[in-house]
């Protein structure tokens, strides 16, 4: 692999990464920063002061994709000014939009230097070196139009699915102190829901070996992480090679092994598919104290007919049975979910069945969206697309119910005492913001610096998206 030249590494360079979408993109952005750190790139939160901008994109929704092009337009003047001063400025589009659209990005935004998919970011140093060489060649021949024509910019597009795993080429995690860390254990999807582009942007399901995950988790813990969230497009479909290499482990076995690591207080995982919730994982929610009692389990619709159109591979009764079994294993467990309204062919009856499911399950949190066609997915070609006005009305009604449930769920914690991991400072003097075991944001006032600590908190008030409380004990709570 080509590395950046020594001369290019003398001066510290500023790297700005704009991250869209899911937690896996957050993880990918962190690893891209880790990859480029040895090559002299330091993160900045100011794009105007940067030497390179990476847009780590999401392709799940159409509006998210168009935001990418809008944002690129904002970065174009920065690149132009920098290059007019004779300095190379690298503009890259990474992530799922890069994977899905490839060279189309360069056609729409020809000033983009690099386009790469989520499986290729370990090759960033090589791509950057190529882009810089091309820039300097153009600079040296600026007054030779014939030569410039020969040097016409060729887009650097890495949007294939490489045979080798990108995880085999990643550096160790950085020493940035993070109290809660993301760790990707699985990528890709074999489910092929008709509305979803993930199988086409992330590829087939791949599970990392257990040993590699444990080693990465240990490094996060050494860097200060007390909570680790395991990530995957279908995280509970995980089936990684065992530490001995003699077989495969599922997610339950992995969680139980992670729970044995000293210093790790909390374990979470997302995103799950109902079809992959096996009995061992369900029982782990009752047996493993460090496995947090809150699960994101997307259902998408409460209608079996719509679920079949979506190719979800589960029924409503199957989904509800999992909910009941999880509550039997751990009566304290809470749930969040995903919902799509206005899927092609969804009738009023189908929608009412979704409302009924929400009322029966009762969610602590949920994400709900109007159906948005994604080019190349089977659902985009379905007839009977729902009018926008109908989708808007249904979404409003569903969200009103979900928000009411979320507020009621949060208010049920008033008077309870729960352990909270404090991760950042608040806006007020002495205010700290933390996370409950149930994924709620909790804010308290404290005279002591409790950043990175787990403290018992008595909840005094509740809002739609957060809790307020008072610290009642200064001892650290080990279980979380």
Phi, psi (5° rounding) for residue 340?
Answer: -115, 125
Phi, psi (5° rounding) for residue 370?
Answer: -75, 145
The SS3 assignment for 190 reads coil
Using alpha carbons, select from 427, 446, 447, 444 the residue that is nearest to residue 435: 444
Model pLDDT, residue 140: 74
The SS3 assignment for 227 reads strand
Model pLDDT, residue 330: 98
Q: What is the CA radius of gyration of the chain?
A: 24
Model pLDDT, residue 211: 96
Strands 240-241 and 248-249: antiparallel
Q: What are the Cα distances from residue 155, in Å, to 74, 114, 132, 329?
A: 20, 7, 12, 53
Phi, psi (5° rounding) for residue 349?
Answer: -65, -45
Euclidean distance between CA atoms 57 and 118, whole angstroms: 9
CATH class in words for 417-473:
mainly beta
- CA angle (34 as vertex; 29, 38 as ends), nearest 5: 145
Using alpha carbons, select from 311, 124, 119 the residue that is nearest to residue 203: 119
The pair of structure tokens assigned to 212 is 């590699």
Using alpha carbons, select from 187, 229, 191 the residue that is nearest to residue 208: 187
Domain covering 166-338 in this structure, CATH number: 3.80.30.20
Per-residue pLDDT of the chain (480 residues; tens, 9 = 90+): 334 443 444 568 999 999 887 777 888 888 888 888 888 899 999 999 899 999 988 776 656 677 888 889 899 999 988 888 888 899 999 887 877 777 788 888 888 998 988 877 878 888 888 888 888 777 776 666 666 555 556 668 876 655 455 555 565 655 556 799 999 999 888 899 998 877 777 778 889 999 999 999 999 999 999 999 999 989 999 999 999 988 999 999 999 999 999 999 999 999 999 999 999 999 999 999 999 999 999 999 999 999 999 999 999 999 999 999 999 999 999 999 999 999 999 999 999 999 999 999 999 999 999 998 887 789 988 989 999 999 999 999 999 999 999 999 999 999 999 999 999 999 899 999 999 999 999 999 999 999 999 999 999 999 999 999 999 865 444 444
What's the predicted TM-score (pTM) here? 0.78
Q: Please report which helix (H) or strand (E) contains residue 104, including its range.
A: helix 103-108
Alpha helices in 274-430 (DSSP H): 279-287, 304-310, 316-329, 348-361, 388-411
> Which DSSP string corresponds to 411-430?
HTTTT-EEEEEEEEE-SSTT
Domain boundaries, the chain: 6-158, 166-338, 417-473
Euclidean distance between CA atoms 130 and 419, whole angstroms: 50
Model pLDDT, residue 373: 87
8 A C-beta contact, residue 258 and residue 264: yes
Euclidean distance between CA atoms 60 and 44, whole angstroms: 27
Model pLDDT, residue 342: 97
Euclidean distance between CA atoms 247 and 400, whole angstroms: 47
- Please report how the helices 23-36 and 124-140 are oriented relative to each other, as an axis angle in degrees rounded to 10: 60
Euclidean distance between CA atoms 260 and 267, whole angstroms: 11
CA atoms within a 13 Å half-sphere pointing along the CA-CB vector of 23: 20
Model pLDDT, residue 124: 87
CATH 3.30.70.1450 assigned to domain 6-158? The reply is: no
The SS3 assignment for 193 reads coil
- CA angle (251 as vertex; 249, 255 as ends), nearest 5: 105
8 A C-beta contact, residue 480 and residue 455: no
């Amino acid at each position: 692999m080509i590395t950046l030249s020594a001369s290019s590494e003398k001066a510290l360079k500023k790297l700005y990464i704009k991250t869209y979408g899911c937690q896996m993109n957050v993880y990918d952005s962190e690893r891209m920063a880790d990859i480029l750190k040895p090559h002299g790139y330091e993160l900045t939160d100011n794009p105007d002061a940067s030497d390179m901008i990476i847009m780590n994109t999401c392709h799940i929704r159409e509006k998210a994709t168009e935001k990418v092009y809008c944002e690129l337009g904002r970065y174009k003047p920065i690149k132009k000014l920098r290059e007019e001063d004779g300095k190379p400025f690298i503009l890259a589009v990474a992530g799922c939009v890069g994977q899905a659209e490839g060279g189309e990005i360069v056609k729409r935004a020809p000033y983009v230097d690099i386009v790469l998919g989520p499986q290729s970011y370990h090759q960033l140093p090589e791509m950057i070196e190529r882009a810089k060489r091309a820039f300097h060649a153009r600079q040296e021949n600026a007054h030779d139009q014939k030569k410039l024509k020969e040097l016409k910019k060729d887009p650097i597009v890495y949007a294939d699915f490489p045979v080798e795993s990108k995880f085999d080429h990643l550096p160790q995690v950085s020493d940035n102190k993070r109290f809660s860390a993301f760790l990707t254990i699985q990528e890709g999807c074999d489910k092929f829901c008709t509305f979803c582009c993930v199988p086409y942007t992330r590829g087939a399901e791949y599970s990392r070996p257990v040993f590699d995950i444990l080693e990465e988790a240990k490094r996060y813990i050494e860097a200060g992480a007390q909570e680790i969230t395991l990530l995957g497009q279908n995280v509970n479909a995980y089936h990684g090679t065992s530490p001995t290499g003699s077989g495969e482990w599922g997610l339950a076995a992995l969680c139980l092994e992670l729970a044995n690591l000293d210093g790790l207080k909390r374990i979470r995982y997302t995103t799950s598919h109902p079809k992959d919730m096996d009995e061992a994982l369900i029982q782990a929610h009752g047996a493993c104290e460090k496995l947090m009692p809150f699960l994101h389990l997307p259902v998408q619709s409460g209608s079996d007919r719509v679920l079949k159109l979506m190719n979800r591979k589960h029924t409503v009764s199957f989904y509800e049975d999992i909910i009941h079994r999880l509550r039997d294993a751990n009566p304290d467990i809470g749930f969040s979910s995903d919902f799509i309204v206005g899927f092609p062919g969804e009738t009023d009856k189908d929608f009412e069945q979704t409302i009924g499911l929400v009322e029966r399950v009762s969610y602590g949190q949920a994400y709900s969206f109007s159906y948005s066609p994604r080019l190349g997915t089977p659902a985009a070609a379905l007839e009977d697309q729902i009018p926008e006005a109908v989708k808007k009305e249904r979404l409003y009604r569903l969200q009103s119910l979900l928000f009411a449930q979320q507020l009621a769920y949060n208010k049920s914690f008033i008077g309870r005492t729960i352990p909270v991991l404090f991760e950042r400072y608040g806006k007020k003097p002495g205010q700290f913001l933390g996370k409950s075991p149930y994924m709620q944001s909790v804010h308290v006032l404290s005279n002591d610096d409790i950043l990175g600590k787990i403290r018992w908190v008595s909840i005094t008030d509740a809002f739609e998206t957060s809790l307020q409380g008072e610290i009642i004990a200064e001892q650290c709570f080990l279980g979380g």
